[in-house]
Amino acid sequence: MDLQAILHDIDATLRPRLGQAGTVASYIPALARVSPHQFGIAVHTCDGREFAAGDAATPFSIQSVSKVFTLTMAMRHYGEALWERIGREPSGNPFNSLVQLEYEQGRPRNPFINAGAIAVADRLASRNPAPGGAKADILAFLVGEPVTYDEEVARSEAQTGFRNLAMANFMKSFGKLDHDVATVLDVYFHQCALALDCRQLARAAAFLAMDGAHPLGRSRAPVCTERQTRRINSLMLTCGTYDAAGDVAFLIGLPCKSGVGGGIIAVVPDTLALCVWSPALDATGNSLLGLQALELFVAKTGLSVF
Amino acid sequence: MDLQAILHDIDATLRPRLGQAGTVASYIPALARVSPHQFGIAVHTCDGREFAAGDAATPFSIQSVSKVFTLTMAMRHYGEALWERIGREPSGNPFNSLVQLEYEQGRPRNPFINAGAIAVADRLASRNPAPGGAKADILAFLVGEPVTYDEEVARSEAQTGFRNLAMANFMKSFGKLDHDVATVLDVYFHQCALALDCRQLARAAAFLAMDGAHPLGRSRAPVCTERQTRRINSLMLTCGTYDAAGDVAFLIGLPCKSGVGGGIIAVVPDTLALCVWSPALDATGNSLLGLQALELFVAKTGLSVF
Amino acid sequence: MDLQAILHDIDATLRPRLGQAGTVASYIPALARVSPHQFGIAVHTCDGREFAAGDAATPFSIQSVSKVFTLTMAMRHYGEALWERIGREPSGNPFNSLVQLEYEQGRPRNPFINAGAIAVADRLASRNPAPGGAKADILAFLVGEPVTYDEEVARSEAQTGFRNLAMANFMKSFGKLDHDVATVLDVYFHQCALALDCRQLARAAAFLAMDGAHPLGRSRAPVCTERQTRRINSLMLTCGTYDAAGDVAFLIGLPCKSGVGGGIIAVVPDTLALCVWSPALDATGNSLLGLQALELFVAKTGLSVF
Amino acid sequence: MDLQAILHDIDATLRPRLGQAGTVASYIPALARVSPHQFGIAVHTCDGREFAAGDAATPFSIQSVSKVFTLTMAMRHYGEALWERIGREPSGNPFNSLVQLEYEQGRPRNPFINAGAIAVADRLASRNPAPGGAKADILAFLVGEPVTYDEEVARSEAQTGFRNLAMANFMKSFGKLDHDVATVLDVYFHQCALALDCRQLARAAAFLAMDGAHPLGRSRAPVCTERQTRRINSLMLTCGTYDAAGDVAFLIGLPCKSGVGGGIIAVVPDTLALCVWSPALDATGNSLLGLQALELFVAKTGLSVF
């Protein structure tokens, strides 16, 4: 299977559609001014090969894709105890709903809705309570990549993230956050403001296709256990793409996690991880061409879990 | 009708019950340490006479009773435009619920649930945007009384009021607050931290029994219009006592507004305003002996709207 | 006070507005074909005088106004035990919502929302379990009037009342109805299908202004106790007009109960009961000109509880 | 891989645990009297081989497992138009909730919650509107097996299924059912009352592992398209096991559909279908030993989509 040719084909097929449909996230200026005329795709295989096409070397705001990495960090440290604070079931409501949080007494349904990711950020702050500790830990987790926080994005999120502030305070009112809301959201807004490109993200996600092994070689310490990898992949499949998880499971059939910056990572267990990026979103908040790219990839490669 | 004798009778009847049932609000230390062994009652008649019994000269934290005064201030300034941001119907949910706020897109059901009072505080901040302006205005509205903010209470409310922070941020996310959440809540937490005694509160509420006229004489400018008074009284009757409004309308039949400090004001239109206070609360968050005192008052005087 | 002149004035003022605004209930043909060009008003005073103007002798479908009478019957029979199955607090949700019913485990918030009235009908079926017993009892309660059920309306309600069927089955699933859903709804749909005119309804409601005494004279057995009257009046004030109860308490300030047939009864305690009728409804489901008539009546007579 | 030995191993491992934990469904007598001391497992491979162990030839009430077959029938007939009435996303609420149905205006979230299956039954009634037509069609779909309806179970469901009656009437009130509630529920209650054994169910589900091909050979007309199979499998993975779908995706990693009779079918795409059965349920309403059997099967065979 010539993966490089497939990625080029996908790029060639989708590039003419750039700018035709969908809308770039506009809730903060730094995201609103991103040009929708961009598309990138990258693959990192379990045997270490890398392929890319399009704008795969252009960094973008990974936003909710970061939830996969912080969840991995928290699972690694807390094990099963993590689930005392966070559920593992699909949510069935808009990703930022407070209603469900009220009926479940401040325990988020899963770690990929915003409330759940905020609860994960609180856990990371407990793991390293030094000022800035959790933020440093996240960069360390992604070491090997020249990753940085886009401070303008983080600042903008903090200034406009009233819904996230509401959710964090709401969980705090139920006694479900150990740290100050400001501390927890500082971690959360920064993780959303990480800037990576498709190649970096595919590489960073590769452990999910490798039963938790380190992407840079099995001589290094594994990222997490095989069992934890399976948990993360199943959460991505059932809850990784907001209120489109059912359709994505059908159309693509791979564990995926998307972000409003237009990035999506996907995992073919035991085979490869891939990352697609295109800033224009569909009505469900997922990258419009990103989903089309994944659908093409599955069709061309036959790599789907179903 | 010998009102002084009636108040003494009520005090004599209820005093033996002090400390027997109910619980003092305990969510902040300054409220938790208030002795439940206190009961006061005071009346201010439309012709300017005052009567009192029990601990009617002991200041207490008026908490949600303040919502009547800030609402009056906002109605006076904004007229009908106020209702674009705030509803006027009973809520039927716990007073601090976020669920209803979500389904009504950030517009609180009425000005006496916390979310509604926070929206009113935002309006007062717009009316006088100078730093501390709204807080000074509230004191000025209550002029004639040596009223002060209990800064310890205000500070504690700010440190623990996560649910109110959640609601304010939630309304902000719907674009329903014009000012910073911190600014708005500073007004709100301070109004809750006003310390008055029963005599002062009965006097301050007397305009509601006087078609809006100034309690200190009709030569002074009226507090609000007759129509506005009717609106406030009807809101107190339908929404003034949390989730006990239906029972209070039945048992007492007067417009009332209660606070978790244990105070309740009540209005007999064209006749008098009264204030009762006893810190121990019943399961609905209303003063246990306060409600009993009002029930006795209505039974002894026959003054009920029904 | 010349009540006859006042009623004529109100009729003269409102008649030109007939047909200008509002919509006749259209969910069943028998209601949809009622002409909106009708308005009636009638008063029954506590001393037995009667006044009327407009189409006060035209029978109409009383619909939810009937809930006052069935509630009275159930309170009289069951006393306080009635409230084990039904709450007494305003609902704050659309009158036919299932959401609140789910969160309160099948116990309706109050007897004037549909679910609550269905629970009352179940109680009446228990009180007289003979076939047709409760339906006969309702007619007997209204004795003195040549009252009949409009069987066409009852049949239509049964054929289209899916929401009521849903609610009744839902309560049944929580074990909160003792009788078959079909039996209970047969009572409920018939009570809604009672046809009375304004004069009859004012007379039938007069006990609510008379501390429960029989409208046809104190030599007869009272309809209910003074305390029960006060309970019913306070429920009408806080919950009697769907999601407009707050506005009605303000604008009219009287206990009212309305129905989608366009009728509204109102009570001036110790003075009189009145009934207004005009089929066109406003957005809240209350008679548009009916509410205007009540507002005019209160303005002209000064009879308001506030 | 010796599937027969694996099934025997699983049976030998689990049989000692029979009766130790879990509870048999008790809402109707016919289910309540089923002995919990039963366990069966059967496999049907894509190349037509069959394996079984334990009580694999004992018929049981398939209950919600039937939803897979009626969904398949409806998809085959209506194609994409089916989704106008039914969603395809996980629900995140108890499987019989009316709340979500209200907020989504009578359109069920997916075809595997009760409301969704009732909507599917309505579609089948439209497809064959003759009296009993849909019921006959369901038997015809399962032709080759001596399948029958357990009329006692169907009658009991009808007598006690108030929640389902509530939901059906609720959807009807939104205009989302074309047929009488009684007609639709007659289909639904009968499909739940189908009695099959593990061998039959594994065979009946085999098309889901065969890209829609007929289990009895590719010379016969396919059951549905490859694309439809993928849709059904992804729905089973995300919504097939009530509020345990996330955990099942993690622990088992196969598309599954369970029923309160204790049966579960599971699909290994391109390989086999299997059916496990044990009547005692866990707190989520899934067969306790059934889930353990599937977990053992995946561990022993390595057959999981992740």
Q: Give yes or no: residues D80 and D40 share one domain.
A: no
Range of the domain at D47: 3-58+197-301
pLDDT band at C207 (very low <50, low <70, confident <90, very high): very high
What average pLDDT does range C205-226 have in this prediction? 91
What average pLDDT does range B236-240 have in this prediction? 94
- Any bridge partners for residue B19, and if so which? none
Q: Give yes or no: residues B186 and B68 share one domain.
A: yes
- Closest partner residue to C246 among B234, B244, B250, by Cβ? B234
Does position B206 have pLDDT exceeding 90, yes or no? Answer: yes
3-state secondary structure chain A: CCHHHHHHHHHHHHHHHCCCCCEECCCCHHHHCCCCCCCEEEEEECCCCEEEEECCCCCEECHHHHHHHHHHHHHHHHHHHHHHCCCCCCCCCCCCCCHHHHHCCCCCCCCCCHHHHHHHHHHHHHHCCCCCHHHHHHHHHCCCCCCEECHHHHHHHHHHCHHHHHHHHHHHHCCCCCCCHHHHHHHHHHHHCEEECHHHHHHHHHHHHCCCCCCCCCCCCCCCCHHHHHHHHHHHHHHCCHHHHHHHHHHCCCCEEECCCCEEEEEECCCEEEEEECCEECCCCCEHHHHHHHHHHHHHHCCCCC
Q: Give yes or no: residues C222 and C135 share one domain.
A: no
- What pLDDT is stored for residue C91 in this prediction? 81
C-alpha torsion A139→A141→A144→A149, nearest 10: -20
Radius of gyration of chain A (CA): 18
- What pLDDT is stored for residue A215 in this prediction? 85
- Any bridge partners for residue D17, and if so which? none
* Domain contains C306: no
B256 close to B275: Cβ distance less than 8 angstroms: no
The Cα–Cα gap between C112 and C108 comes to 9
Nearest CA in chain C to D161: C173
Q: Which residues of D58-78 are buried (b: 16+ CB within 10 A; e: fewer)?
A: bbbbbbbbbbbbbbbbbbbeb
What average pLDDT does range B183-204 have in this prediction? 96
* Domain contains B122: yes
What average pLDDT does range D57-78 have in this prediction? 97
Nearest-CA distance from B222 to chain A in Å?
39
Express as a percent the part of chain C with pLDDT over 70: 98
Q: How does pLDDT run across A65-103, given as a tens digit for each residue? A: 999 999 999 999 999 999 999 999 988 766 557 777 887
Q: How does pLDDT run across D159-187, given as a tens digit for each residue? A: 989 999 999 999 999 999 999 999 999 99
The Cα–Cα gap between D244 and C174 comes to 24
- What pLDDT is stored for residue A57 in this prediction? 96
**ipTM, interface predicted TM-score of the complex:** 0.89
- What pLDDT is stored for residue B94 in this prediction? 62
* Weakest-pLDDT range from B178-182, B200-204, B231-235, C101-105: C101-105
D202 close to D275: Cβ distance less than 8 angstroms: yes
Instruction: Pick D15 or B305 by higher pLDDT.
Output: D15
C300 close to C286: Cβ distance less than 8 angstroms: no
Read off the pTM.
0.91
- What pLDDT is stored for residue C104 in this prediction? 83
- What pLDDT is stored for residue C163 in this prediction? 92
Does position C241 have pLDDT exceeding 60, yes or no? Answer: yes
What average pLDDT does range C293-304 have in this prediction? 93
Helix or strand run (H / E) with residue D3: helix D3-14
- What pLDDT is stored for residue C57 in this prediction? 96
Contacts of D181 in chain C (CB under 8 A): 162, 165
Q: Is C42 helix (H, G, I), strand (E, B) or coil?
A: strand
- Closest partner residue to B305 among C89, C100, C306, by Cβ? C306
Instruction: Pick C97 or D287 by higher pLDDT.
Output: D287
Tokens 């500082």 -> residue: A186
Burial of residue A127 (number of CB atoms within 10 Å: 0-12, 13-18, 19+):
middle
- What pLDDT is stored for residue A176 in this prediction? 96
Burial of residue B176 (number of CB atoms within 10 Å: 0-12, 13-18, 19+):
buried
Question: What does the block give as tokens for A227?
Answer: 């069992």
Does position C103 have pLDDT exceeding 80, yes or no? Answer: no
Nearest to B67 by CA among B27, B95, B99, B38: B95
Nearest-CA distance from C121 to chain D in Å?
18
Calculate the CA A13 to chain-centre distance.
25
* Domain contains B277: yes
Q: Give yes or no: residues D205 and D296 share one domain.
A: yes
* Domain contains D93: yes
- Closest partner residue to D162 among C102, C163, C172, by Cβ? C172
- What pLDDT is stored for residue C96 in this prediction? 58
Q: How does pLDDT run across C60-94, given as a tens digit for each residue? A: 999 999 999 999 999 999 999 999 999 999 887 66
Question: What does the block give as tokens for A17?
Answer: 């559609």
- What pLDDT is stored for residue C264 in this prediction? 98
Nearest to C102 by CA among D100, D227, B197, D18: D100
Dihedral sign computed on CA atoms, order B210, B211, B215, B218: negative
The Cα–Cα gap between B268 and B237 comes to 11
Question: Do B89 and C247 make contact, defined as CB atoms within 8 angstroms?
Answer: yes
* Domain contains C282: yes
* Weakest-pLDDT range from A88-97, C237-246, D143-152: A88-97
Nearest-CA distance from B232 to chain C in Å?
8
Express as a percent the part of chain A with pLDDT over 70: 98
Q: How does pLDDT run across B89-110, given as a tens digit for each residue? A: 988 766 557 777 887 889 999 9
D288 close to D280: Cβ distance less than 8 angstroms: yes
Which runs of E-coded beta strand occur in C129-190?
148-149
Q: CA angle, corner A18, sides to A16 and A19, nearest 5? A: 130
Nearest CA in chain D to C176: D162
What average pLDDT does range B199-226 have in this prediction? 92
What average pLDDT does range B126-146 have in this prediction? 89
Instruction: Pick D96 or C138 by higher pLDDT.
Output: C138
Question: Which residues of C have a catalytic role annotated?
Answer: 64, 67, 188, 242, 260
pLDDT mean across residues, chain A: 93
* Domain contains A176: yes
Tally of CB atoms within 10 A around A217: 8
Q: How does pLDDT run across A239-258, given as a tens digit for each residue? A: 999 889 999 999 999 999 99
Q: Give yes or no: residues C211 and C279 share one domain.
A: yes
B45 close to B271: Cβ distance less than 8 angstroms: yes
- What pLDDT is stored for residue C94 in this prediction? 62
pLDDT band at D157 (very low <50, low <70, confident <90, very high): very high
Question: Which residues of B have a catalytic role annotated?
Answer: 64, 67, 188, 242, 260
Q: Give yes or no: residues D74 and D183 share one domain.
A: yes
Domain boundary among D194, D214, D236: D194
- What pLDDT is stored for residue D94 in this prediction? 61
Contacts of C298 in chain B (CB under 8 A): none
A226 close to A218: Cβ distance less than 8 angstroms: no
Q: Give yes or no: residues B157 and B202 share one domain.
A: no
Question: What does the block give as tokens for B17?
Answer: 């019950």
The Cα–Cα gap between B52 and B237 comes to 24
The Cα–Cα gap between B1 and B50 comes to 14
What average pLDDT does range C88-102 have in this prediction? 75
Which runs of E-coded beta strand occur in chain B?
23-24, 40-45, 50-54, 60-61, 148-149, 194-196, 256-258, 263-268, 272-277, 280-281
Q: Give yes or no: residues D132 and D85 share one domain.
A: yes
Q: How does pLDDT run across C30-40, given as a tens digit for each residue? A: 999 999 999 99
- What pLDDT is stored for residue B131 in this prediction? 92
Size of interface C-D (CB pairs under 8 A): 55
Express as a percent the part of chain D with pLDDT over 70: 98
Does position C95 have pLDDT exceeding 60, yes or no? Answer: no
Determine the residue among D170, D183, D185 to mutate to test chain C binding: the one whose Cβ has the most chain C Cβ atoms within 10 Å.
D170
- What pLDDT is stored for residue C219 in this prediction? 82
What average pLDDT does range B232-247 have in this prediction? 93
- Closest partner residue to C165 among D97, D103, D169, by Cβ? D169
pLDDT mean across residues, chain B: 93
Instruction: Pick D279 or B93 by higher pLDDT.
Output: D279
- What pLDDT is stored for residue B77 in this prediction? 96
Give the residue numbers in B contacting C (CB under 8 Å), as ranges.
Answer: 87-93, 100, 109-110, 230-231, 233-235, 237-239, 243-247, 249-250, 253, 255, 269, 304-306
Nearest CA in chain D to A306: D269
* Domain contains B306: no
Instruction: Determine which one of A43, A67, A223, A257 is catalytic.
Output: A67
Instruction: Determine which one of A66, A68, A242, A257 is catalytic.
Output: A242
Contacts of D110 in chain A (CB under 8 A): 246
Q: Give yes or no: residues B206 and B261 share one domain.
A: yes
- What pLDDT is stored for residue D62 in this prediction? 96
Question: What CATH number should be reported for the domain holding residue B101?
Answer: 3.40.710.10
Domain boundary among D167, D194, D221: D194
Q: Give yes or no: residues A250 and A283 share one domain.
A: yes
Number of compact structural domains in chain C: 2
- What pLDDT is stored for residue B96 in this prediction? 58
* Domain contains C37: yes
Does position C14 have pLDDT exceeding 90, yes or no? Answer: yes
Does position D95 have pLDDT exceeding 60, yes or no? Answer: no
Does position A218 have pLDDT exceeding 80, yes or no? Answer: no
Does position A283 have pLDDT exceeding 90, yes or no? Answer: yes
- What pLDDT is stored for residue A101 in this prediction? 84
Q: Give yes or no: residues B94 and B151 share one domain.
A: yes
Q: Is D159 helix (H, G, I), strand (E, B) or coil?
A: helix
Which runs of E-coded beta strand occur in chain C?
23-24, 40-45, 50-54, 60-61, 148-149, 194-196, 256-258, 263-268, 272-277, 280-281
pLDDT band at A14 (very low <50, low <70, confident <90, very high): very high
Domain boundary among A140, A171, A194: A194
Q: Give yes or no: residues A82 and A154 share one domain.
A: yes
